[in-house]
Amino acid sequence: MTGTKPLNILHVITKLDVGGAQTVVGELVRKQIKSGHRVAVATGAVHAEALVPTINDVSVNVVASLVHPLSPSRDRLAVRQLVALMKDQQFDVIHTHSSKGGLLGRIAAHRCAIPSVYTAHGWPFQPGAPGSQRVQSLIGEWVGARFGNEVVCLNQGELKLAARFRVGSINHRHVIYNGIADADPIARTQRSVADPFRLVMVARFERQKRADVVVEALQLLDERVTLTLVGDGELRPKIESRVHELGLRSRVTFVGIADPLPYLCSADAFVLASDWEGMPVTVLEAMRAGLPVVANDLLGNREAVGPNTGLLTALTPAGFAKTIESLFNDPVRQTELGRAARARWESLFTSSQMAAEYEALYRRMLP
């Protein structure tokens, strides 16, 4: 915002690795530094693939006691260390991200009398999440809201969920969509009738992400349909084993952790199967690349994809197979959905728009 004083901002996130929350933090940090703000990040762990440490002019502070599992002794130490950091660098705003970082970061900010913003990056208590996680996280969200100021939801469905479970107060809940910067253009690969129909899924191999559903759906589809899986995680060996059992090794490619853009630009459609989502960055990346999206019908997917840029289906192999087949048989629709996806990303999900909305929120909190 021109003509206003630069801010000193601290982002608190449990760990810097590859994921949607980390991508959003990276996008925000880049935009905020470009706008002249002083920006720092506090995190419990930095992985080699993390996005933020590659950004110039950002201070990354490792708070080793800030860990994901519940640990009363380490959690108390993390709060003390965060308080010391906040007092030392005299921040104007503390922006906390995800459940654990959000809880401990808000407690520390409260002790320092610094305004705080909390972005949940997908409520952990939403339908589809494991029952024990939902109960534990809801208690944490209630406690965190007592110490913090503003709560940001990623979509209108999550805003209603927060209101239903009384997370934060009515005047302090907001919706700000995730946003990503445009990418250097890569020419899309042209497909002939004889070419395979190329699906791509970008996701971690973990409990929440259901690559197993997409692999099972592939077995039900024409042999010309192929799948590229970009990502890694503890469940990858299990998915690889299932691919082998189904005789799909020639149709499924495991890429590992990589820049997804080249794979998106060489695909015909993007797929994502999940038990729950907030506002999936991978869907936004696919839309930015002009790809039609096939995903299961969840709060985050519904609002990201919208009515005319992709197709939502049930979280079953049969549901995904039927929906993918409808695209496979209709090249004209593929093109129309892809163009609409790119236009929707441009109008709603850019990093510039996201950063501007967060800055406006920050400034409303300041004296």
How sure is the predictor about 16, in pLDDT bands with cuts at 50, 70 and 90?
confident
| pLDDT of res. 1 | 44
How far is the first Cα of the chain from the last one, in angstroms, to the nearest whole number? 17
- In the chain, how many H helices and how many E strands? 13, 13
Give the separation between CA 304 and CA 347, rounded to whole angstroms: 12
Beta strand extents in the chain (DSSP E only): 8-16, 38-46, 59-62, 93-97, 116-119, 150-153, 173-175, 197-202, 225-230, 252-256, 269-272, 293-296, 310-313
Query: What is the rounded average pLDDT of the residues 163-187?
Result: 89
Residue 326 has pLDDT above 80, yes or no: yes
- Give dist(CA 175, CA 168) in Å, integer: 13
pLDDT tens, 275-284?
A: 988 899 999 9
More confident residue, 192 or 335: 335
Q: What percent of the chain has pLDDT over 70?
A: 92
Rounded Cα–Cα distance for residues 134 and 127 (Å): 8
- Average pLDDT over the chain reads 90
Euclidean distance between CA atoms 312 and 111, whole angstroms? 44
Q: pLDDT value at position 251?
A: 97
Average pLDDT estimate for 152-179: 93
| Residue pointed to by tokens 């305004």 | 115
Split at pLDDT 50, 70, 90, the class of 2 is very low
Of 230 and 128, more confident = 230
Closest by alpha carbon to 228, among 274, 195, 262?
A: 262
